[in-house]
Amino acid sequence: MNKVEGVIFDWAGTTVDFGCFAPVNAFINVFKEAGIKVTMEEARAPMGLLKIDHIRAILNMPRISGLWEEKYERLSSEQDVEHLYGKFKSALMASLSTYTDPKPEVVETVNSLREQGLKIGSTSGYTQKMMDVVVPEAKEKGYSPDFYITPDGTNSLGRPYPYMIYRNMEALKLTAAKNVIKVGDTIPDIEEANNAGVWSVGVIIGSSEMGLSADEFNALSEEDQEKAITKTRQTFLQNGAHFTIKSMSELPAIIEQINQLNQGDRVRDQDGGLSALQY
């Protein structure tokens, strides 16, 4: 069988939480409480990682590291990481339920894929406790994958490791990597897909990479919207995505392209060049 059998989605910024604001706001507030002003761009940069790894990544940024050393007269430690992560978890859990609305076109697209016989999986940078809030809330609003897993289920080996994708493939009985698509909104999503050997699709509008709320995006002129879309698309492609979609309604057409590529035993990327994904 050479057709796509399953699609594995990310959560925040991909299927729910337009713009991926729940974790970003929590990161900014936690560092602010510690006396360190982190910008929105800095808070978003490691998005997609396991959240404790995300905190480590922020602390390792040269500017943040310098501010920390200036304030505390020492480099940050693993104890600092654990302390900030504890604060982050509390802050995120307090607000998480308000960031579970499915993004536009997600419910309709997923239902259509299911009608075609595709399995729907998911991976996340959230912990299991966080997903215990997100999953039932999203289900009530119409979105519920067939399977989900967090880094808690892979010995804390989250993105960019491929193991969450492998667990999806096992649970959903997907036969081969070339028949699997991973859809995400961050660079670690793309790296996770490439490390697993599956097709990588970056979703642009409402992504963490774009970093705009629905109101902010809709307030842009048509020209500025296209600039934001182009910039995000280029970032995804430059970091190894095989395809990009502006929004979820474009995914079925990408699936059809991949089916044709698999049938022809040729693998090409969105710009028409040979892809690194070869079988």
Whether residue 185 is annotated as binding a ligand: the answer is yes
Task: Quickly list H helices, 100-250.
Answer: 106-115, 128-140, 163-172, 187-196, 214-219, 222-238
Whether residue 12 is annotated as binding a ligand: the answer is yes
Q: What residues are annotated to the active site?
A: 10, 51
C-alpha–C-alpha distance, residues 123 and 238, integer Å:
22
Whether residue 22 is annotated as binding a ligand: the answer is no
Question: CB burial class (10 A; 0-12, 13-18, 19+) of residue 204?
Answer: buried
* Helices and strands per DSSP (H, E), number in the chain: 12, 5
C-alpha–C-alpha distance, residues 274 and 179, integer Å:
18
C-alpha–C-alpha distance, residues 216 and 15, integer Å:
18
Cis peptide preceding 160, ω within 30 of 0: yes
C-alpha–C-alpha distance, residues 111 and 113, integer Å:
5
**Nearest to residue 207, comparing CAs of 179, 221, 228?**
228
CB 150 within 8 A of CB 176: no
C-alpha–C-alpha distance, residues 31 and 47, integer Å:
16
| Binding annotation for Mg(2+) | 10, 12, 185
| Binding annotation | 10, 12, 185
